[in-house]
Amino acid sequence: MKRILIALSVVCLCFGCKRTTVKEIQKTVNSSDEKGEWIYLFDGTSTEGWRAFRGETLPPQWAIIDGLLTFDTEKGLETDRKGGKDIVYGAEEFDNFELYLEWKLDEGGNSGIFYHVNEEYWISNAAPEYQLLDDLKWEEINKDKLQEWQKTGANYAMHKPDNSKKIVKPAGEWNSSRIIFTADHAEHWLNGQKLLEFVPWSEDWKKRKASGKWKDHPEYGTFKKGYIGLQDHDSPLWFKNIKIRKL
């Protein structure tokens, strides 16, 4: 309560008599807790800035439901663009950043967080991806054996998560993910635990790219700035508290 009152005082000094909402006060408190200034890409009230990959508007399956950014498989399949229903935050590109969000999946669900998205190339072939998956039920429901680099928290097809530190919640429960990325060092976090780290564009990174899934996709990971994106895999998805800060 003391922290909120302090934040309210700061807001009042800055904005005079302008009325300030509780949500705005809480944002000020949250921002002051960590280095840098958080930019909310989704705060539960608006999809401003979000659109389809290579599109101008959101596909109809993506909407705010009960304050959550939701992929609703019950809605129509029509889209205003060619291919898929992945979305990007198209209002700004980011290079070095810390991204935080909370998410949950349906049983057997699959999704991902893209970054450095460049719309010249197909999103899933060029943009690095923090994998989101129902690790606990995927193989049982989909009858498909997974590699570790395909599971939640992986740098998809590049670096596998450390399972000794991994805590993944069951389908229908909220998980939190964090990506820290700079040209010198990158980290993937899940539910407060660091799962992996790597050096972008290092010799090790290049060897992994050349010997794995991306060997026939020279465009993969080459962009050092781009959009943040969310992937659909035709399963229900829910996101909240999506925020980013520049590093």
The residues, any chain, with a CB within 8 Å of residue 185's CB and separated by 6 or more, are 197, 198, 199, 200
- The CATH homologous superfamily of the domain defined by 38-246: Exo-inulinase; domain 1 (2.60.120.560)
Give dist(CA 196, CA 210) in Å, integer: 20
Say what the pLDDT of residue 234 is: 85
The band of 76, judged by pLDDT with boundaries at 50, 70 and 90, is low
pLDDT per residue over 8-33, tens digit each? 444 444 434 343 343 443 444 344 34
178-201: average pLDDT: 98
Strand partners, 175: 103
User: Which pTM was predicted?
Assistant: 0.83
Strands, DSSP E only, in the chain?
Answer: 39-42, 50-52, 62-65, 68-71, 87-94, 97-105, 110-117, 129-133, 175-181, 186-190, 193-198, 226-231, 237-246
List the domain boundaries for the chain: 1-33, 38-246
